[in-house]
Amino acid sequence: MAIYDFAVGQTNPETFPVEEFKQAAIRAIDAEHEQFNRYPGNKGHEGLRKAMARRESEREGVPVDPEQIAIMNGSMQAVTLVGQALRQGKDDIVITEEFTYSGTISAYKGIGLEMVGIPLDDHGMRMDALSEKLKELSDADRLPRFIYALTTYQNPTGTCMPKDRKQELISLAAEYDLPLVEDNCYGDVHFEGEKVPSMFAMDDSPNQIYIGSLSKILAPGVRLGYLLAKEPMFSKIVNQRFDAGSNYFAAAVVAEFYKNGIWDHCEVANLVLKKKRDLVNAGLQEHLSDICVWSNPVGGLFMWVRLPEDTDMQKLIEVANNKGFFFAPGFAFHVDYANKPYIRLAFGHVPDDLIKEGIPVLASAIKHSRTSNERRNFETLF
């Protein structure tokens, strides 16, 4: 039986640069093998910090100091350390989008943070709702320790926050003097249109914390991500780590691979991913447009699909899985694990022919998991 694995946010395996990576590894071993005998320390490989500073600087058009970057064991380590550094005690709150990355939910709940979710619309976290919630929490003397936002190619919804809304977010965080974490894990998995500036490039505040990753533009198996922040926030977060630093060998190879910048490889990989997005879109249009609405993201790896209210999610999981189709249910991304009628389709890892074959399998599973066959009675994603 064919397996249609739309469950996990992984890149396209066929564009992994095997030959160039092999050559980069040989050069890195020749040049840096002596360093492999030492612990890398909190900041990590200097060459990779420089390469990521260059990446951020070239995208944002502002200078970025490699000394403000710490290499992490995937961006997930940065997400976790931020929570550990900013939590002060019991009952502490973090604000996120109502739907956010499932790994972040596990990490923050695991650390003991209470998560307060702000509803989204087509442009990400809603600022009217955030403003109201902050006022309510401030009145109750329960302001959050920080705000964590996925502003670009949001996981799971695929939304992007426009610049003017980011400005509002920056102003609200400043009004309450709150650290603002922008997790740009999918940064540079970009298909079309203008890139919106990141918040660290719009605001000089030492409360700006930025998280980047190599997982989505290169491969999650290298387990490399990074934190970008100013002092004293930088040390406050990085001093939470007790692992003697991230994999120096992997960092050396990746830095060597990117010695001429990241864009050439991104361009190749993004074109292939864009085609996959278009295939999912076409399949959904053909097979599900009468009953579902979905996002059409300008980047990232996900389509967020709104299902009819009468879909039985447990039944859908069972029916789809039995047919070899795997997806992530909406509740996995809800801050309270509420069973909302959504699913997330991660298209990056699925071969084109299996996308074409798989979407009709999903459509049939959805239709079998409903109590009616009525057309949808909604027009919007949220």
Ligand X SMILES: Cc1ncc(COP(=O)(O)O)c(C=O)c1O
User: Could you list the residues that contact ligand X (CB under 6 A)?
Assistant: 9, 74-76, 79, 101, 103, 150, 155, 183, 185, 213, 215, 220, 225
On whether the CB atoms of residues 353 and 3 are closer than 8 A, the answer is no
Q: Are strands 120-121 and 124-125 parallel, antiparallel or unpaired?
A: antiparallel
List the structure tokens of 93: 């709150």
Minimum distance from CB of 172 to ligand X (Å)? 21
Whichever of 144 and 225 has its CB closer to ligand X, that residue is: 225
Considering the complex, state which of residue 213 and residue 369 has its C-beta at the smaller distance from ligand X: 213
Nearer to ligand X, 9 or 283 (CB): 9
Q: Is the dihedral of CA 80, 85, 90, 95 positive or negative?
A: negative
Least distance (Å) between residue 382 CB and ligand X: 19
Q: Which amino acid does the sequence have at 104?
A: T
Nearest approach, Cβ of residue 185 and ligand X (Å): 4
Rounded Cα–Cα distance for residues 90 and 77 (Å)? 22
Can you say how many angstroms the Cα of residue 92 is from the centroid of all Cα atoms in its chain? 23
Distance CA 359, CA 288 (A): 9
Q: Compare residues 295 and 311 and give the one whose CB is closer to ligand X.
A: 295
Instruction: Give 208's strand partners.
Output: 180
Nearest residue to ligand X, using CB?
74
174-178: list long-range contacts, CB under 8 Å, 24+ apart: 174/203, 174/205, 174/207, 175/134, 176/134, 176/138, 176/143, 177/207, 178/143, 178/144, 178/145, 178/146, 178/147, 178/207
| Nearer to ligand X (CB atom), residue 219 or residue 291 | 219
Where do the DSSP E strands lie in 150-207?
180-183
Q: Closer to ligand X by CB, 73 or 311: give it.
A: 73
Residue 154 corresponds to which amino acid?
Q
Amino acid identity, position 309: E
**Cβ closest to ligand X, residue 262 vs residue 288:** 262
User: What is the closest distance, in whole angstroms, from the C-beta atom of residue 291 to ligand X in the complex?
Assistant: 27
Smallest distance, ligand X to C-beta of residue 269, A: 15
Rounded distance, CA 215 to CA 221, Å?
Answer: 7
Query: In the complex, what is the shortest distance from the CB of residue 220 to ligand X, in angstroms, rounded to a whole number?
Result: 5
What is the smallest separation between the CB atom of 31 and ligand X, expressed in angstroms? 26
**Residue closer to ligand X, measured from CB, 254 or 319:** 254
Q: Nearest Cα to 68, choosing from 250, 199, 226, 205?
A: 226
CB of 111 to ligand X, least distance (A): 15
